[in-house]
Structure 1
Amino acid sequence: MGVALTDDDNWVVSAAGPAFGICPDCSRRTRNRHGWFNRSLQDLPVQGKTVTVKLRLSRWRCARQNCERQTFTDRLPTIASPYARRTKRVAEIVGLLGHSTGGRPGERLMGRLGMPVSDDTILRQLKRDAAAAHCNSTIRVVGIDDWSWRRSWRYGTMIVDLERRSVVDILEDRSVTSAAQWLEQHPSVEIVSRDRCGLYAQAVRKGAPQARQVADRFHLMHNLRVAIEEQMSLSGRATGRALLPEQGIAGTQPDLDQPNATHRRRARHAHRQSWQTVFDTLHALQKEGFSCSEIARRTGYGRRSIAKWLTYDAPPDRRRAELKPTSPLYFEAFLTQCWTDGNRCGRHLFHDIKHRGYTGSFSNLERLLASWRRASRSSKGSAAPAPIICHQPARDAVPIRDPATGHVISPVVAAALCMKPRGMLTINQARKVDALKQGSHEFALMRSLAMRFRGILRGRELDKLDIWIDDAVNSGLVPIVRFARVLRRDISAVRNAVELPWSNGQAEGQINRLKTIKRAMYGRAGPELLRARMLPLNRPHHHTK
């Protein structure tokens, strides 16, 4: 063994192999040398200088005549893997830096430490380690959620082991097929935590029917807050639908005395009237000397929208989007004919328009048919069940203002305060809540429902859930009624969310980590590389060239 210093101040360590060989198949010693070969390995640096280990190894002939391996080379299992160009300790650092920093940052850092490695080598080893990694442990509780390759365009799926708090796998797409296939390959899964996405609920029913589904509690509270915000946004907003008579809306019934064109014309006229009212109000406030920000606070509209409308002399015409096969109105002529012929079963009509190219959902079609049924019952004068009376705010409702500043309380702020318990409110927030409760009966009712729902989730009071859903449905507030009916359709997962401690919080945190990694890799974040960097490091390393 020898140590030398090269002209460029790098270190070279020379060594020779053993004096005999051991066959890897039959484990028999031999001294019958077949030849020599040299091998160079990169090792840890010395004071920032590169160290190269040069080995002179032998190729041996096996001493056993019946052995299938005639020749073999010296093996160095404690130093380096076969065909590797770095020692195991260097390869371990390469894998660690590649997992933590990526390709080019890892290349710069390795060069500064005296172990030059290219970025392609780092990423190649990282991908190879991830491909060779196999999770042999039993996975019992998983969280499944989607993440975006490109927002509103393409999505993937992340699966997290909630017990070990680590990522299990990353799927390239968000589909029922891929998620169900993964669940079928892991029959040990007993509990699946998910958000309110029906796609993953269907995948669990298909791929793991034995598993219990758990709806994420954060998304339950978030959906309730969105419903409250939607209800509060109705206050003081005049819309074309509100200005129309009860049965004068386009597309509500195909079999009325007046043709559909008349209803569409009335709807457009009512919408234009509502736009004109808003337009005149904005210009009147501008003439009084208010800025766009102050007008936005007083009216609740967006500041950018107000600034755009103030540049016009008349309300701009709203162009109706072209109907697509995702809308049942795209097949309105066919549906009208079927309705006239007496075919009014939703499932049958859904099957028929599916064959004609309909790509929308059954619930979307049912909403249209439900409005047709209501209009048909009222036009015939037949006795029908009394509909739910919806407590919609009047069009001339006075907006509720902040007692401290006098500014209008926006629906977003009102919804956030509605979900917050009294003990967590500041003094100013408590004053806003009192003003909202005094000025809006709907807000007082929704706050009561929100606090009860929060108590059910935090107190694990499963026996009160059905009573709460019934009270929400009977509240008459359309967004709250819709939220309660969706809960009833997914009641088993909601019950498990109340009863079980699991949630999708760990999956949401891992998705934030994935977003950071994806943005730091400047477009090189393909599915294979993302999966390699998201999987945990506690797996064996397989070192290669």
Structure 2
Amino acid sequence: MIELWVRRFRCDNAGCPAVTFAEQIAGLTTPHSRYTPLLRGTLTQIGLALAGWAGARLAASIGITAGRDTLLRMVRSVPEPDVGEVEVLGVDDFAFRKGRHYGTLLIDMATHRPLHLYDGREGEDLADWLRGHPEVKVICRDRSSGYGEGARVGAPQARQVADRYHLWANLGQAVEKSVNPIAPAWPNRPPDDAGEPLEAEPAVVQSPKELKIVTRLRDQHAAAHELWEQGMSKAVIGRELGLHQATIRKLVNARSADDVVAKSLQRAHVVDPYVGYLHRRWNEGVENAAQLHREIQQLGYPGGELAVQRHLRRYRSGRGHAPASGPKPPSVREATSWIMTHPSTCARRMQTNCTACVSVMPSWTGSPATSGSSPR
């Protein structure tokens, strides 16, 4: 608490709206303020770092009484810094609510400082901002057609480039789609008694029978796109096909059925970490799903018995015995990471953690002339 004696002045001009005013002390008081400049600056920094309730709790812990609304008002009152000249501009969207409401963020790629934020993903808003900044030379954006049109209209002198994240993400999706069709043909090859991978012989990979879920996804994708081309909305298509609106949105936004299939088949199943144990116990003669479920529960299995029954159903239906306990075939995501990793780094992985790759994908380790069935 600071007590001050200050002078109060009265204006003799009858037309003055102030009439009376008190003298101010530089660095300690400001007109119509309840906080000193130092305290206001402290609370502003707390609000910028933590905002509402979290900022109020921190302020209370250091002896300052300030509510969350006060902190938010101080944050809103901070003047926006001058944008200045921007030569390389980054443009990308973000979700207020995923799948429903999006906004656009503009960033100075030289300083990584946010410059502007607006609601929506329309190219007109981007063009309006660019007209006020003719100094922009490079626009780094994703592959959105709206952003591309806005950049061409607002800054025809600028060069448009794709950012590193989207280039790498699109490459990963393309590789996953190439790997996914051959993944079901990877055998589960057990190691020999010495612990070394078995020496594999060249074999012709036959196209496996398509899974029911793959066939269903392809039919749904074709039906959804046919109705979409007829002008129906996504809500109407969902009612026609009896599918959830989120599923319809996924099907309509996918360029091809392979995109939907790849994402669905890459999902890890809850039983996957315990497949090796189930295979070993099955080969030992334990075929009771309830007993196997109880055993893997003690190992940390979080799922139910039905998932175990479904996993063992393929062996009960006469499609073959469970393979011997050995390294599990790599997932599509793992194989994709091997392809996209620098050869020197991938070689170190193969020597340490990825011995399963040598045993289940022998053709990938050979020369391109003998392993033409796999991308390199």
TM-score w.r.t. the length of structure 2 is 0.57
Distance apart, 1:136 and its partner CA:
5.0
Distance apart, 1:416 and its partner CA:
1.3
Give the match for residue 441 of structure 1: 372
CA deviations 1:109-142 (Å, max 9, x no partner) are: 222222211111110111121xx32415222222
Q: Which amino acid is 2:142 matched to?
A: D
Q: Give me the whole-angstrom Cα distance separating, in 2, the residues matched to 1:316 and 1:327.
A: 16
Q: Give me the whole-angstrom Cα distance separating, in 1, the residues matched to 2:158 and 2:211.
A: 52
Stretches of structure 2 lacking an aligned partner (at least 5 in a row) = 186-206, 233-251, 257-324
Distance apart, 1:440 and its partner CA:
4.3
Aligned match for 1:215, one of 134, 138, 162: 162
Structure 2 vs 1, CA of residues 325 and 67 (structure 1 numbering), >3 Å: closer, same or farther?
Answer: farther
Q: Give me the whole-angstrom Cα distance separating, in 2, the residues matched to 1:317 and 1:144.
A: 34
1:74 aligns with 2:22: yes
Aligned match for 1:121, one of 70, 80, 104: 70
Q: Which amino acid is 1:166 matched to?
A: R
CA deviations 1:167-205 (Å, max 9, x no partner) are: 112222222122222222322222211223333222211
Q: Give me the whole-angstrom Cα distance separating, in 2, the residues matched to 1:421 and 1:276.
A: 33
Give the match for residue 516 of structure 1: none
For 1:154-193, list aligned pairs within 5 A.
154-193=101-140
Distance apart, 1:235 and its partner CA:
2.2
Q: Give me the whole-angstrom Cα distance separating, in 1, the residues matched to 2:14 and 2:76.
A: 40
Give the match for residue 333 of structure 2: 412
Given that 1:180 and 1:206 are in contact with CA atoms closer than 8 Å, whether structure 2 keeps it comes out as: yes
Instruction: State the SS of the aligned residue for 1:15.
Output: coil
Q: Which amino acid is 2:147 matched to?
A: Y
Distance apart, 1:221 and its partner CA:
2.7
Distance apart, 1:150 and its partner CA:
1.8
Given that 1:180 and 1:204 are in contact with CA atoms closer than 8 Å, whether structure 2 keeps it comes out as: yes
CA deviations 1:432-453 (Å, max 9, x no partner) are: 377242474142xx32xxxxxx
Instruction: State the SS of the aligned residue for 2:182.
Output: coil
Distance apart, 1:405 and its partner CA:
4.5
Give the match for residue 9 of structure 2: 59
For 1:272-287, list aligned pairs within 5 A.
278=211
Q: Give me the whole-angstrom Cα distance separating, in 2, the residues matched to 1:150 and 1:82.
A: 41
Give the match for residue 229 of structure 2: 328
Structure 2 vs 1, CA of residues 13 and 81 (structure 1 numbering), >3 Å: closer, same or farther?
Answer: closer
Give the match for residue 357 of structure 2: 432
Q: Give me the whole-angstrom Cα distance separating, in 1, the residues matched to 2:88 and 2:218.
A: 53
Structure 2 vs 1, CA of residues 160 and 108 (structure 1 numbering), >3 Å: closer, same or farther?
Answer: same
Q: Give me the whole-angstrom Cα distance separating, in 2, the residues matched to 1:317 and 1:227.
A: 18
Q: Give me the whole-angstrom Cα distance separating, in 2, the residues matched to 1:198 and 1:163.
A: 24
1:149 aligns with 2:96: yes
Identity among equivalent pairs (%): 24
Q: Give me the whole-angstrom Cα distance separating, in 2, the residues matched to 1:227 and 1:276.
A: 22
Given that 2:183 and 2:332 are in contact with CA atoms closer than 8 Å, whether structure 1 keeps it comes out as: no
Give the match for residue 421 of structure 1: 342
Given that 1:196 and 1:216 are in contact with CA atoms closer than 8 Å, whether structure 2 keeps it comes out as: no
Instruction: State the SS of the aligned residue for 2:117.
Output: strand
Segment of structure 1 superposing worse, 157-166 or 195-204: 195-204
TM-score w.r.t. the length of structure 1 is 0.41
Root-mean-square deviation (CA, aligned residues, Å) is: 3.9
Distance apart, 1:153 and its partner CA:
2.3
Given that 2:10 and 2:19 are in contact with CA atoms closer than 8 Å, whether structure 1 keeps it comes out as: yes
Structure 2 vs 1, CA of residues 93 and 164 (structure 1 numbering), >3 Å: closer, same or farther?
Answer: same
Give the match for residue 90 of structure 1: 39
Greater relative contact order structure (CA < 8 Å, 6+ sep) = 1
Structure 2 vs 1, CA of residues 113 and 163 (structure 1 numbering), >3 Å: closer, same or farther?
Answer: same
Distance apart, 1:75 and its partner CA:
4.3
Q: Give me the whole-angstrom Cα distance separating, in 1, the residues matched to 2:17 and 2:101.
A: 52
Q: Which amino acid is 1:206 matched to?
A: V
Aligned match for 1:140, one of 80, 84, 87: 87
Structure 2 vs 1, CA of residues 206 and 237 (structure 1 numbering), >3 Å: closer, same or farther?
Answer: farther
CA deviations 1:316-362 (Å, max 9, x no partner) are: 9966786579833569xxxxxxxxxxxxxxxxxxxxxxxxxxxx99x
Q: Give me the whole-angstrom Cα distance separating, in 2, the residues matched to 1:223 and 1:229.
A: 10
Q: Give me the whole-angstrom Cα distance separating, in 2, the residues matched to 1:59 and 1:221.
A: 68
Give the match for residue 48 of structure 2: 99
Aligned match for 2:5, one of 5, 13, 16: 16
Give the match for residue 181 of structure 2: 234
Structure 2 vs 1, CA of residues 278 and 195 (structure 1 numbering), >3 Å: closer, same or farther?
Answer: closer
Instruction: State the SS of the aligned residue for 1:100.
Output: helix
Give the match for residue 188 of structure 2: none
Q: Which amino acid is 1:152 matched to?
A: G
Structure 2 vs 1, CA of residues 69 and 213 (structure 1 numbering), >3 Å: closer, same or farther?
Answer: same
Q: Which amino acid is 1:113 matched to?
A: I
Given that 1:161 and 1:168 are in contact with CA atoms closer than 8 Å, whether structure 2 keeps it comes out as: yes
Distance apart, 1:415 and its partner CA:
1.7
For 1:264-343, list aligned pairs within 5 A.
278=211, 323=224, 327-328=228-229
Paired residues, number: 255
Instruction: State the SS of the aligned residue for 1:441.
Output: coil
Q: Give me the whole-angstrom Cα distance separating, in 2, the residues matched to 1:95 and 1:203.
A: 36
CA deviations 1:456-513 (Å, max 9, x no partner) are: xxxxxxxxxxxxxxxxxxxxxxxxxxxxxxxxxxxxxxxxxxxxxxxxxxxxxxxxxx
Q: Which amino acid is 1:61 matched to?
A: C
Q: Which amino acid is 1:146 matched to?
A: D
Instruction: State the SS of the aligned residue for 1:152.
Output: coil
Stretches of structure 1 lacking an aligned partner (at least 5 in a row) = 1-11, 19-57, 239-273, 280-304, 307-314, 332-359, 365-403, 448-545
Distance apart, 1:421 and its partner CA:
1.7
